[in-house]
Amino acid sequence: MVDVKLHDIGEGMTEGEVIHLFVKVGDQVKVDQPLVEVQTDKVTAELPSPAEGTVKEILVNRGDVIEVGSTMVVIDNGEEMLGETQKAEKKPANELRIDSLEKKKVFKLDHFDASAPKRILAAPHTRKLARMLQVNIEDIKGTGRLGRITDEDVERYANALKEQPADYDAAKQEAPAPVSEYHEMPFKGRRKAIANKMSQSLFTIPHVTHFDEADITQLLTLKNTLKTLDAKQTKGCNVSLAAFFIKAIANALQEFPIFNAKLDEEKQVIRMEKAVHIGLATDTEEGLIVPVIKHVEEKSMMTIHKEMKALIQKARDNKLRHEDMSGSTFTISNVGPLGSTGATPIINYPEVALMAFHKTKKMPVVNDNDEIVIRSMMNLSMTFDHRVADGGKAIAFTNRIIEQLENPELMLVNLK
């Protein structure tokens, strides 16, 4: 028998949601044949069969949220069953499979054995919340699928304890009747993972946001010139504004490596990365996701443009791989096309900075000759970790980026 378990397919993932089952009990499967499709906070992945054989058991259902290490499918690969003594000699105690039907009942909700330890269905985040609120999670009645305890169950129980006498048992009370005046959507999968990561970042990092503006009139002129040339030749040189933003940041990070860093609190060091890997905050139907362009400092503007477009399309088609979303050292958010005029973005933990590019407007500006001229002005917001850098550094870094955007010919010095 072979147990197919959910393994860690992302950076530090703890759980995943089953969104599709490719097989049923009794099916014959081959090695590497897809068995289950699981969605985590970052990717949707098909988990293949590690062995050839017959599907003996399926222990999950579509929609289940399961923890890393949980068995999803059991495959009979034709190997003879060993005796209990042989099993103990062949496998460590913590890897022994319980094959007795009576022993299996201990772990099934519909055949619960009162003499066995109570099995609690709750995500790690929910257990942590229970500890923070100082409530015993075993006393809580879960209202989720298969009796899973949710964050709302924990909070309801904790609030009830505060409002009722000491002998009040909130777990035995009837759950409030559903209200039909509103529509509910599941708070799980990618949406919940985004919430957890945002909370971790905001509660860990002392955020400071610096606002500024850039006159990108010359940059827009250059972009339009390239677009005109692109129409006259087959080679192509139409480059998006975001590619210029990314290149300007990469150049500035070479001069200010403190913002291309990660703080290791355990070792008490600030690790400044040599390579520049830019994360692209991308809005998709399923929520925010951050694909990564690697080694931006080594790439031309056209290469950056093409890779960016390909990654964003893969993100919207839900086809990103784990390696497409890992290793970022600095993140940008290009929200100008959506109409944003300003924001205080949350840093993509464990990075130390994030820059957002906002809406561009034509505005009257007084130039160096005291003349009023119409210029294309764009707002920027630079959010940084105040444990790692101070305001003076953040302003100098932002000024270096603005200098390149206002005088795009300066970027030619670092083109590769």
Distance CA 6, CA 337 (A): 39
Residue with tokens 């056209």: 302
Decide if 376 contacts 224 (C-beta within 8 A): no
Structure tokens at 175: 């759950």
**Chain center to CA of 8:** 14
Catalytic-labelled residue, pool 20, 111, 295, 386: 386
Distance CA 310, CA 5 (A): 32
d(CA 95, CA 75) in angstroms, rounded, equals 16
CB atoms within 10 A of CB 341: 11
- Paired tokens of 274: 């040599």
3-state secondary structure of 370: coil
List beta partners, residue 380.
Answer: 212, 357
Q: How many Å apart are CA 163 and CA 159, to the nearest integer?
A: 6
Contact 21, 47 (CB under 8 A): no
Element (H, E) at 213: strand 207-215
Residue 20 annotated among the catalytic residues of the structure: no
- Nearest of 374, 310, 331 to residue 245 by alpha carbon: 331
* Structure-block tokens of residue 111: 């055949």
C-alpha span between 181 and 416 (Å, rounded):
58
Contact in structure between 205 and 388 (CB atoms under 8 Å): no
Supply angle C-alpha 54, 19, 183, rounded to 5: 150
Residue keyed to tokens 């909070």: 155
Q: 297, 259, 302, 258: which is closest to 277 by C-alpha?
A: 297
Give CA 141 to chain center in angstroms. Answer: 30
Residues labelled as active-site residues: 386
